[in-house]
Structure 1
Amino acid sequence: MVTKAKSQADETRQALLTAFCDLYRENPLEKITVQSVTRKAGYNRTTFYQYFLDIEDLLRQVEESLLAYISQKRNSLSVDERPHDLIEDLVAIYEERAIEVNALLGPYGRVHFTEKLKKSLDLSAFHLDSMQDNKYQPYLLEFRLTSALNLFSLWLSRGQDLSVEELIGLVTKLYHYNPGFQELAETKPSDK
Structure 2
Amino acid sequence: MKQQEKRRITKGNFTTALFKLCREKEFTRISVKDICSCAGYHRSTFYEYYSDIYDLRDQTEDRLIASLTKIFTLSSTESLTAAFIHSFTRINEESGEILWYLLSENGDPHFAVKIKEALKPYYFKVFAIPPTDQDMEYVFDFAIMSGLSFYVSWYSKGKHFDADSAVALVRRVLVDGLATVIAEHSEKPDQVSMKFI
Per the shorter chain, which TM-score range?
A: 0.7 to 0.9
Does residue 84 (structure 1) correspond to residue 83 (structure 2)? The answer is no
User: Is contact 1:87–1:168 with CA below 8 Å preserved after alignment?
Assistant: yes
Mapping of 1:4-15 within 5 angstroms?
5-15=3-13
Structure 2 gaps of 5+ residues are: 181-197
Structure 1 contact 87–171 (Cα < 8 Å) conserved: no
Q: 2:30: which partner in 1?
A: 32
Q: Distance in 1 between matches of 2:96 and 2:171?
A: 23
Tell me, in whole angstroms, the C-alpha distance in 2 between the residues paired with 1:18 and 1:180. Answer: 42
Deviation of residue 34 (structure 1)? 0.9
SS at match of 1:92: helix
Relative to structure 1, the CA distance from residue 26 to residue 175 in structure 2 (aligned partners, 3 Å threshold; closer, same or farther) is: farther
CA contact (8 A) 2:124 2:130 kept: no
Deviations 1:96-153 (A, max 9, x none): 33443133212322121111110111114664x7598988534432322111101111
Residue range with higher mean Cα deviation, 143-152 or 5-14: 5-14
Cα gap change, 1:178 to 1:94, in 2 (>3 Å): same
> Which aligned segments of 4 or more residues in structure 1 are displaced greater than 4 angstroms?
129-136
Larger deviation, residues 91-100 vs 130-139:
130-139
> Which secondary structure state, in structure 1, belongs to the residue aligned with residue 55 of structure 2?
helix
Q: Does the 8 Å CA contact 1:16/1:37 hold for their aligned counterparts?
A: yes
Report 1 or 2 for greater relative contact order, CA contacts < 8 Å, sequence distance ≥ 6: 1
Task: Compute the RMSD of aligned alpha carbons.
Answer: 3.0
Give 5+ residue unaligned stretches, structure 1.
182-192
The TM-score, its normalising length taken from structure 1, stands at: 0.75
Aligned residues: 176
Corresponding residue SS for 2:110: helix
Q: Where do residues 23-102 of structure 1 align in structure 2 (5 Å cutoff)?
A: 23-24=21-22, 27-75=25-73, 77=74, 79=76, 81-85=77-81, 86-102=84-100
* Structure 1 residue aligned with 2:106: 108
